[in-house]
Structure 1
Amino acid sequence: MSEAAVDEAPDGVLSRSYLLATLGMVALIGIAAFESLAVTTVMPTVSRELHGESLYSLAFAAPLATSLVGMVFAGNGADRSGPRPVVIASTLLFAVGLLIVGTAPTMTVLLLGRLVQGFGSGAVIVGLYVMVSELYPARLHPSVFAGFAAAWVLPGLVGPVVAGTVTERFGWHWVFIGAVALSVPAFVMIVPSLRRLPAHTGDVPWSRGRILWSGAAAAAVVALNLLSELPVAVSVAVVVASVVVLAIALRPLLPARTLRAGVGIPTLVLLRGLVGAAFVGGDVYIPYLLSAQYDFSPAASGITLTVGSISWALASWLVGRLGDRVSQLAGIRIGIGLVVIGVVSAVMTALLHVHPGVLIVGWTLTGFGMGFMYPRFSVLVLRWSGDDERGFNSSALTIADSASAAVVLALTGAAFGLLGGAQDPAAFVACFTVALAVALLALAVSGRAIPRRSG
């Protein structure tokens, strides 16, 4: 934490000193969230128009892969030179990626744009996390991260419907071009605060090894998501090689003992990845299920995402109001339990073809569970990180998030293709079952998130 943040100690995150910074950072997070929801809503239409249905899952996994590299660059760069250059460069790359996607004439060009966009979005999130730690006093961190969590879901109030309506009336291209236009004023709002950040005089070197490992991890993720395009015999070899490379590459990018669920920060990082993957594994295929099996329009298929986002925002607000009245461990376990319930509703909807209201109610509970636990991961990791670890540990949170989600998308994408695609309910059942297995694993290791002395 910087001396400036301690000395000013404003009354709140919306005080005069930090108003523009808070609004600008929350807006940038919100735009990234809108884009994510927009892709989920419009991708069934995009894949049909660009004849890229076989690359459906890769369109989601590609930015997750390059975000791994962006996060490592950003974490290392923030520890070396501070968050200022990281936030500026990554915001620019994010906007360029959106422009490429928004003007893409083919699925190949769209995937290229998604790669660029993923690098920028992964880096900007890490940069903003570190910016929070240097700009605000520690007592305001929970409020800022609660705002970030709300920003991830508030676009869900209108985002899916807006994206679907724009797609139906004007074309899906304008969904992404519009997001670029919104990014400009959001970035302008944080520029004055970027100038106020203290200069970094440390001698943290560039970690070329970690950057190379992040590239290897990204390559493994992309390879996993190409399984549906490969012969079965080749797919088996690719799976084995990719999993080995990914496991080896992730070790230096995450805190020690993360893959073994070490107590404290390692398990918090692991849980962030597992619950995020379980959520994404269901979220990506819900609009597709409603469109293919229930004849929902693009705008109507976003209704489940909307109600899930509303409940996520409500839960994030509730976390701030409850304070310490619910322990961190209890909050994490309650959240995971609700995610499990929601994913079970998705499995049952696809398996039994019940009324879609079952899925909508279930995903509302999932959204509430995510909002109830997600801010806790960032707050606790920053609380227990040293001054020279914040960049690394912040990037580790988002790396675990992206890597886990990309692996789950690879598994669901392969299962989806092998089981007949959108016309066969069994394909959706398999996708949601993978997400359920990941959520249950998160519940099993959640007890190791909080050291006993921390309560």
Structure 2
Amino acid sequence: MTIAPTGVWRPPFGWVTAGAVAMVFLAATQALAVTTVMPAVSEELDGAGLYAVAFSGVLAASVVGMVVVGVWCDRAEPAHALTLSVALFVLGLVVAGAAPDMTTLVVGRLIQGLGTGGQTVALYVVVARVYPSELHGRVMAAFSAAWVVPSLVGPAVAGAVTEYLHWRWVFFGVAALAVIAFTIVYLRLHGTPLRASEVDTGPYAVRVLCSVVVAVGAVGLSLAGEFGALAPLVAGASLVIVVIAVRPLLPPGTLTVRRGLPSVVLMRALIAGALFGAEIYVPYLLVDRYGFSTTFAGFGLTAAALLWAAGAEVQGRFGDHLGSTRIAVIGVSLLTAATVLAFITAALGLPPAVVIGGWSLAGAGMGLMYPRLTVLTLAYSTPQNQGFNSAALSISDAAGAAAAIAAMGVAFVALTGSGAAFPAVFLLAAALALLALVPGLRLSRVSG
């Protein structure tokens, strides 16, 4: 679109913004809801051994969706890729909702992951090609703010649905609403030329193959705890496979912390691993240690999501004034403080208010960092590589979270019954959060 910009909620962008934000809103609702109800799902389906896989699997599969859609968007219309992604997302939700056992639920989550990953990348490319660059920060802030309502009512509603109806309706409800949200976006984009003027001709077959290997490695890491005495060997081998296979999917220099886009992408992986790896155990801790119901355990995530939205709004309005380095330092400090407080609570048996209040700091930090890293990625991109770079950012996000969740799951299973399971998870998260400061100080292509 070449019309002069006014605002993201005004013509000609208003309906696209509304539909895209609704899709992000539903993804947020689904993520928060599943995190809340999974302890009940695991108990009913006797799936404790697959608890971590139900989370890491969807992230691992999303890597494949991200790569395929990233290539697709660099070669054709992103609206077509978005259509298939939403279809897979909805199908996965339906399969998971109807699952008679935990294995089938994990299969549904894997299908959902393919759609989730593709949907994320397609939306980023749509933002890059529909909105002028000066509005990118506002759109990303709107995406982050789409977590506000889910954070207020999502976990509690999901818990209430589980208690008074059934957890299956958590999946079915989101599936139906996702179709409506997608229709709004598709009708507005239909007929609008969004194809890049020059087509990327990179080695897409290699990227797709590597994405599959990354997904398999991440799932293998999640299942390492099932191999008994061989668990450390399986976990180590799986982690090596993930690291080797992910390299061609990321900008050159990502794993060596090169300044600029590579550090942006690496930082996203580390903070995603720290937050999402630990977050799935916050409601688990409240249910297991403090006897919370699933409804009230969901409130443990509410304050964090609220402050995530607040942090995103601050970044959207004042991000350029604060600067990327300052945002990185503040964000990492808040995330580290949250994970350390969770560790202390689990280790010393402090009141649950400490972990609930402390976890809100993680939301504030992520709200500052997440949209900023997306804006930087788009700023470092050209129309020819927007799909690849957007996919790389999302891949690092998913791969980092999947690997962290899997590793923490292995540690949790190994230490279950010793009293050290929850503290170990939060301690690993704190270490990842601190490590994120290394690329966080190298987000600019120039020093200083």
Category of TM-score, reference length = shorter chain = over 0.9
Tell me, what secondary structure is at the counterpart of 2:258? coil
TM-score, reference length from structure 2: 0.97
Question: What CA distance in whole angstroms lies between the structure 1 residues aligned with 2:77 and 2:253?
Answer: 27
Question: What CA distance in whole angstroms lies between the structure 2 residues aligned with 1:419 and 1:444?
Answer: 30
Match of 2:224 in 1: 227
Pair 1:432 & 2:426 matched:
yes
Question: What CA distance in whole angstroms lies between the structure 2 residues aligned with 1:221 and 1:324?
Answer: 36
Q: Is the 8 A contact 2:333 2:365 kept in 1?
A: yes
1:109 to 90, 104, 126: 104
Question: What CA distance in whole angstroms lies between the structure 2 residues aligned with 1:308 and 1:448?
Answer: 27
1:255 to 228, 251, 255: 251
2:50 to 55, 58, 70: 55
Pair 1:447 & 2:441 matched:
yes
Superposed, 1:118-133 pairs within 5 Å as 118-133=113-128
2:213 to 210, 213, 216: 216
Amino acid paired to 1:340: T
Amino acid paired to 1:86: A
Match of 2:141 in 1: 146
Match of 1:171 in 2: 166
Amino acid paired to 1:45: A
Aligned-pair Cα RMSD in Å: 1.4
1:338 to 334, 349, 373: 334
Match of 1:394 in 2: 390
Tell me, what secondary structure is at the counterpart of 1:79? helix
Distance 1:320 1:244, change over 3 A: closer
Question: What CA distance in whole angstroms lies between the structure 2 residues aligned with 1:186 and 1:424?
Answer: 46
Match of 1:415 in 2: 411
Pair 1:96 & 2:96 matched:
no
TM-score, reference length from structure 1: 0.95
Q: Is the 8 A contact 1:332 1:376 kept in 2?
A: no
Match of 2:38 in 1: 43
Question: What CA distance in whole angstroms lies between the structure 1 residues aligned with 2:39 and 2:418?
Answer: 15
Q: Is the 8 A contact 2:78 2:194 kept in 1?
A: no
Question: What CA distance in whole angstroms lies between the structure 2 residues aligned with 1:321 and 1:270?
Answer: 25
Question: What CA distance in whole angstroms lies between the structure 1 residues aligned with 2:181 and 2:419?
Answer: 42
Q: What's the CA shift for 1:326?
A: 1.1
Amino acid paired to 1:337: S
Question: What CA distance in whole angstroms lies between the structure 2 residues aligned with 1:152 and 1:394?
Answer: 20
| Identical pairs, percent | 44
1:134 to 129, 138, 145: 129
Question: What CA distance in whole angstroms lies between the structure 2 residues aligned with 1:138 and 1:391?
Answer: 16
1:68 to 63, 66, 70: 63
Instruction: Tell me which moved more, 442-451 or 392-401.
Output: 442-451
Question: What CA distance in whole angstroms lies between the structure 1 residues aligned with 2:164 and 2:418?
Answer: 29
Q: Is the 8 A contact 1:84 1:197 kept in 2?
A: no
Instruction: Tell me which moved more, 193-202 or 237-246.
Output: 193-202
Superposed, 1:258-407 pairs within 5 Å as 258-407=254-403
Q: What's the CA shift for 1:67?
A: 0.5
Question: What CA distance in whole angstroms lies between the structure 2 residues aligned with 1:20 and 1:86?
Answer: 19
Tell me, what secondary structure is at the counterpart of 1:448? coil
Q: What's the CA shift for 1:153?
A: 4.6
Question: What CA distance in whole angstroms lies between the structure 2 residues aligned with 1:356 and 1:406?
Answer: 27
Q: What's the CA shift for 1:365?
A: 1.0
Tell me, what secondary structure is at the counterpart of 2:146? helix
Q: Is the 8 A contact 2:197 2:383 kept in 1?
A: no
Question: What CA distance in whole angstroms lies between the structure 1 residues aligned with 2:311 and 2:199?
Answer: 41
Question: What CA distance in whole angstroms lies between the structure 1 residues aligned with 2:196 and 2:359?
Answer: 44
Question: What CA distance in whole angstroms lies between the structure 1 residues aligned with 2:188 and 2:258?
Answer: 36
Q: Is the 8 A contact 1:76 1:207 kept in 2?
A: yes
Superposed, 1:175-194 pairs within 5 Å as 175-194=170-189
Question: What CA distance in whole angstroms lies between the structure 2 residues aligned with 1:244 and 1:326?
Answer: 37
2:20 to 25, 31, 35: 25
Q: What's the CA shift for 1:380?
A: 0.7
Distance 1:311 1:451, change over 3 A: same
Question: What CA distance in whole angstroms lies between the structure 2 residues aligned with 1:343 and 1:27?
Answer: 30
Question: What CA distance in whole angstroms lies between the structure 2 residues aligned with 1:63 and 1:277?
Answer: 14
Q: Deviations over 1:293-350 (max 9, x none)?
A: 0000001001120111111111111222324331121012101110000000100010
Instruction: Tell me which moved more, 276-285 or 198-207.
Output: 198-207
Question: What CA distance in whole angstroms lies between the structure 2 residues aligned with 1:389 and 1:202?
Answer: 10
Q: What's the CA shift for 1:203?
A: 4.2
Q: Is the 8 A contact 2:140 2:316 kept in 1?
A: no
2:7 to 8, 12, 27: 12
Question: What CA distance in whole angstroms lies between the structure 1 residues aligned with 2:63 and 2:320?
Answer: 33
Amino acid paired to 2:379: R
Q: Is the 8 A contact 2:218 2:403 kept in 1?
A: yes
Tell me, which stretches of 5 or more residues in structure 1 are unaligned? none
Match of 2:204 in 1: 207
Tell me, what secondary structure is at the counterpart of 2:435? helix
Q: What's the CA shift for 1:424?
A: 4.7
Amino acid paired to 2:172: I
Task: Give the aligned length.
Answer: 446
Q: What's the CA shift for 1:236?
A: 3.0
Question: What CA distance in whole angstroms lies between the structure 1 residues aligned with 2:415 and 2:194?
Answer: 55
Question: What CA distance in whole angstroms lies between the structure 1 residues aligned with 2:384 and 2:82?
Answer: 18
